[in-house]
């Protein structure tokens, strides 16, 4: 199990670094731009806050983008949410299917390792990478905030990034389960799922008819404006997210253990 875990970490280390530097770097650069834009933001903040449903969808009605907290929630929140979700989807979508797609399943599973243990090793590798990705991104954001000489409310900041981590794990779990059913790598399917759930969350924030069903999308409980604005946790969505995460990993485990491997 340890051998497979180490192998997966090694296989994805470059990809992890590239994604973390791109998403974290982009976020950090936006933070550094804030001081230069602060004055013009003050003039625009009122307009942005009074754009009705659009302002609601992007959280600009709750927080002023003229403050670092508001700017972080609307700008960095979007970059980190989408970038992190896409990274989680890409890493997990191929984790199991790549063995059949690359014809390595015969080599790997003719070695004395239980399929269940291999699945768990691969899931642990996904979790480790997502955690590392978030640590690297947060470090870059904090360096930028320190460089700016501004302050962020610690509790809300930690809560937001914890919920982002949970959301990425839930999406990774879903894509991991999809990967167990596939014989070919389908990263497009995973990215499509992420974008659909993101769009669904935006729609649920704009359309009153959908607002009661907002919790279906994991983006609902990891929204930067909600968490940095009020600090309230969307409990029902979080509970559903944990159930979906556990269910997805169990499904991947059950399916892959009994699967006829293609060579």
Partner 1 sequence: MRNVIEIDSLTKNYGKHRGVSEVSFQVEEGDIFGFLGPNGAGKSTTIRSMLGLIQFQAGSIHILGKDIQKNREDILSEIGYMPSETMFYPGMKVKDVIRMAADVRKRDCRREAEKLCERLKVDMDKKISDLSLGNRKKVGIVCAMQHRPKLFVFDEPTSGLDPLMQSEFFNLIREYVKEGATCMLSTHVLSEIKNYCKNTAIMKEGRLLCVDSVANITKTNAKRVKLLRDGRHENYIFEGNLNELMQTLAGYDIQDILIEELSLDEIFMHFYAETEVCDGYNL
Q: Which residues bind partner 1 (CB under 8 A)?
A: 3-4, 7, 11, 102-107, 109-114, 258, 260-261, 263
Asked if 224 and 240 count as a contact pair (C-beta separation under 8 A), the reply is no
- Is the Cβ of residue 4 or residue 60 nearer to partner 1 in the bound state? 4
Asked if 88 and 171 count as a contact pair (C-beta separation under 8 A), the reply is yes
Minimum CB separation of residue 256 from partner 1 in Å reads: 12
Instruction: Look at phi and psi of residue 149 and say left if phi exceeds 0, alpha if psi is from -120 to 50, else beta.
Output: left
User: What whole-number distance in Å separates Cα of residue 212 and Cα of residue 17?
Assistant: 38
Tokens encoding 211: 């607002």
- Is the Cβ of residue 104 or residue 230 nearer to partner 1 in the bound state? 104
Mapped onto helix, strand or coil, the DSSP state of residue 261 is: coil
Minimum CB separation of residue 20 from partner 1 in Å reads: 19
Instruction: Say how many residues make up the chain.
Output: 263
Tokens encoding 212: 């009661």
- Is the Cβ of residue 26 or residue 113 nearer to partner 1 in the bound state? 113
Minimum CB separation of residue 97 from partner 1 in Å reads: 14
Asked if 203 and 210 count as a contact pair (C-beta separation under 8 A), the reply is yes
Asked if 130 and 88 count as a contact pair (C-beta separation under 8 A), the reply is yes
Minimum CB separation of residue 244 from partner 1 in Å reads: 28
- Is the Cβ of residue 6 or residue 196 nearer to partner 1 in the bound state? 6
User: What whole-number distance in Å separates Cα of residue 36 and Cα of residue 38?
Assistant: 6
- Is the Cβ of residue 109 or residue 216 nearer to partner 1 in the bound state? 109
Minimum CB separation of residue 102 from partner 1 in Å reads: 7
- Is the Cβ of residue 36 or residue 112 nearer to partner 1 in the bound state? 112
User: What whole-number distance in Å separates Cα of residue 105 and Cα of residue 78?
Assistant: 38
Minimum CB separation of residue 262 from partner 1 in Å reads: 9
């Amino acid at each position: 199990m340890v051998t497979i875990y180490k192998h997966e970490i090694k296989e994805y280390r470059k990809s992890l670094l590239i994604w973390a530097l791109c998403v974290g770097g982009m976020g950090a650069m936006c933070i550094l731009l804030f001081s230069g834009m602060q004055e013009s933001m003050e003039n625009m903040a009122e307009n942005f806050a009074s754009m009705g449903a659009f302002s609601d969808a992007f959280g600009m009605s709750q927080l002023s983008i003229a403050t670092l907290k508001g700017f972080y929630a609307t700008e960095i929140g979007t970059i980190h949410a989408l970038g992190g979700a896409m990274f989680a989807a890409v890493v997990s979508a191929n984790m199991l299917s790549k063995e059949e797609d690359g014809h390595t399943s015969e080599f790997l599973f003719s070695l004395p390792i239980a399929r269940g243990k291999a699945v768990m090793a691969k899931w642990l590798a996904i979790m480790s990478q997502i955690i590392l990705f978030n640590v690297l991104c947060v470090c870059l954001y904090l360096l930028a905030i320190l460089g700016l000489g501004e302050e962020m409310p610690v509790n809300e900041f930690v809560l937001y990034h914890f919920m982002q981590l949970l959301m990425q794990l839930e999406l990774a779990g879903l894509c991991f389960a999809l990967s167990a059913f596939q014989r070919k790598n389908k990263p497009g399917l995973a990215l499509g799922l992420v974008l659909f759930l993101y769009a669904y969350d935006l729609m649920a924030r704009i359309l009153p008819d959908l607002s009661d069903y907002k919790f279906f999308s994991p983006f609902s409980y990891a929204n930067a404006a909600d968490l940095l604005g009020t600090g309230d946790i969307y409990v029902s969505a979080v509970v559903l997210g944990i159930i979906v995460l556990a269910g997805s990993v169990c499904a991947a485990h059950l399916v892959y253990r009994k699967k006829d491997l293609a060579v």
